[in-house]
Amino acid sequence: MPEKPAKPLSLGRRNFLKGASLVPAALYLDGCASGGRQQMYPGAGDGAAGSMMEHSVAPLGTVRVGMIGMGRRGLPMLRLLLAIDGVEVRAVSDPYEPATSNARKLFAELDVALPVFYGAGENDYLNMLQRDDIDVVYIATPWAWHTPMAVACMDAGKHALVEVPAALTTDECWQLVETSERTRMLCMMMENVCYGREELMALNMVRQGVLGELLHGEAAYIHPLRWQMHDLEEGTGSWRTDWHTRRNANLYPTHGLGPIAQYMNINRGDRFDYLCSMSSPALGRQLYARREFPPEHSRNQAKYICGDMNTSLIKTARGRTIMVQHDTTTPRPYTRHNLIQGTNGVYGQYPDRFALESEGEFHEWQHDMTAMQERYDHPLWKRTADGAAALGGHGGMDYVMLWRTIYCLRNGLPLDQNVYDAAAWSVVIPLSEASNADRGNSKDFPDFTRGAWKTAAEFNIRHVAVKSDITNNIDLDAA
Residue 8 maps to a domain: no
pLDDT tens-digit map of 85-123: 999 999 999 999 999 999 999 999 999 999 999 999 999
Are 124 and 116 in contact by the 8 Å Cβ rule? The answer is no
Q: Tell me, what's the pLDDT at 32?
A: 42
Q: Tell me, what's the pLDDT at 7?
A: 37
Give residue 71's domain range. Answer: 58-190
Rounded Cα distance between 279 and 311, Å, is 6
Q: Tell me, what's the pLDDT at 20?
A: 55
Q: Tell me, what's the pLDDT at 47?
A: 75
Q: Tell me, what's the pLDDT at 398?
A: 98
Are 444 and 35 in contact by the 8 Å Cβ rule? The answer is yes
DSSP helix/strand/coil, 329: coil
Pick the last residue of a domain from 123, 158, 190: 190
Are 71 and 140 in contact by the 8 Å Cβ rule? The answer is yes
Question: How far apart, in Å, are the Cα atoms of 111 and each of 69, 107, 388?
Answer: 21, 6, 21
Inform me whether the pLDDT recorded for 173 exceeds 60.
yes
Among 23-37, 297-311, 313-327, the minimum mean pLDDT is found in 23-37
DSSP 8-state secondary structure symbol assigned to residue 156: T
Q: Per-residue confidence at 478, pLDDT binned at 50, 70, 90? A: very low
pLDDT tens-digit map of 194-207: 999 999 999 999 99
Q: Which residues 6+ apart lie within 8 Å of 236 measured at CB?
A: 71, 72, 228
pLDDT tens-digit map of 68-87: 999 999 999 999 999 999 99
Q: Tell me, what's the pLDDT at 463?
A: 73
Interstrand relation of 321-327 and 214-222 (parallel, antiparallel or unpaired):
parallel
- What is the pTM (predicted TM-score) of this model? 0.91
Residue 73: alpha-carbon gap to chain centroid: 12
Inform me whether the pLDDT recorded for 44 exceeds 80.
no
For residues 388-398, average pLDDT? 95
Strand order across the beta sheet in which 310-316 lies: 361-366, 353-356, 345-348, 339-342, 214-222, 321-327, 310-316, 272-279, 443-444
Rounded Cα distance between 161 and 258, Å, is 16
Are 224 and 232 in contact by the 8 Å Cβ rule? The answer is no
Rounded Cα distance between 144 and 124, Å, is 17
Same domain, 145 and 215: no
For residues 324-333, average pLDDT? 98
Q: Which residues 6+ apart lie within 8 Å of 25 measured at CB?
A: 1
Question: What H or E segment, with its residue span, contains residue 93?
Answer: strand 87-93
Pick the last residue of a domain from 190, 219, 243: 190
Inform me whether the pLDDT recorded for 31 exceeds 80.
no
Residue 12 maps to a domain: no
Nearest CA to 64 out of 98, 90, 95, 92 is that of: 90
The total domain count for the chain is 2
For residues 33-51, average pLDDT? 56
For residues 301-327, average pLDDT? 99
Q: Per-residue confidence at 42, pLDDT binned at 50, 70, 90? A: very low
Inform me whether the pLDDT recorded for 267 exceeds 70.
yes
Q: Per-residue confidence at 179, pLDDT binned at 50, 70, 90? A: very high
Which amino acid is it at 231? D
pLDDT tens-digit map of 332-380: 999 999 999 999 999 999 999 999 998 887 899 999 999 999 999 999 9
Residue 167 maps to a domain: yes
Pick the last residue of a domain from 190, 213, 246: 190
Neighbours of 184 (CB within 10 A): 14
Q: Tell me, what's the pLDDT at 16?
A: 43
Same domain, 133 and 158: yes
Residue 34 maps to a domain: no
Same domain, 263 and 335: yes
Q: If 0-12 CB within 10 Å is exposed, 13-18 middle and 19+ buried, where does residue 364 land?
A: exposed
Nearest CA to 426 out of 137, 184, 170 is that of: 170
Same domain, 200 and 333: yes
For residues 406-422, average pLDDT? 97
Q: Tell me, what's the pLDDT at 49?
A: 81
Question: How far apart, in Å, are the Cα atoms of 355 and each of 345, 350, 358, 376?
Answer: 5, 14, 9, 15
Same domain, 141 and 258: no
For residues 14-28, average pLDDT? 45
pLDDT tens-digit map of 206-264: 999 999 999 999 999 999 999 999 999 999 999 999 999 999 999 999 999 999 999 99
What radius of gyration, in Å, describes the C-alpha atoms of the chain? 22
Rounded Cα distance between 105 and 342, Å, is 49
- The number of helices, as runs of H, and strands, as runs of E, in the chain is 17, 17
Q: Per-residue confidence at 465, pLDDT binned at 50, 70, 90? A: low
Beta strands in 34-86 (DSSP E): 63-68
Same domain, 448 and 343: yes
CATH of the domain at 162: 3.40.50.720
**By percentage, how much of the chain surpasses pLDDT 70?**
87
Residue 33 maps to a domain: no
**Mean pLDDT (the chain, rounded):** 90
Q: Per-residue confidence at 48, pLDDT binned at 50, 70, 90? A: confident
Same domain, 150 and 205: no
Q: Per-residue confidence at 472, pLDDT binned at 50, 70, 90? A: very low
Q: Per-residue confidence at 39, pLDDT binned at 50, 70, 90? A: very low
Q: Tell me, what's the pLDDT at 466?
A: 54
Residue 24 maps to a domain: no
Residue 320 maps to a domain: yes
- Cα pseudo-dihedral 135, 138, 143, 147, rounded to 10: 10
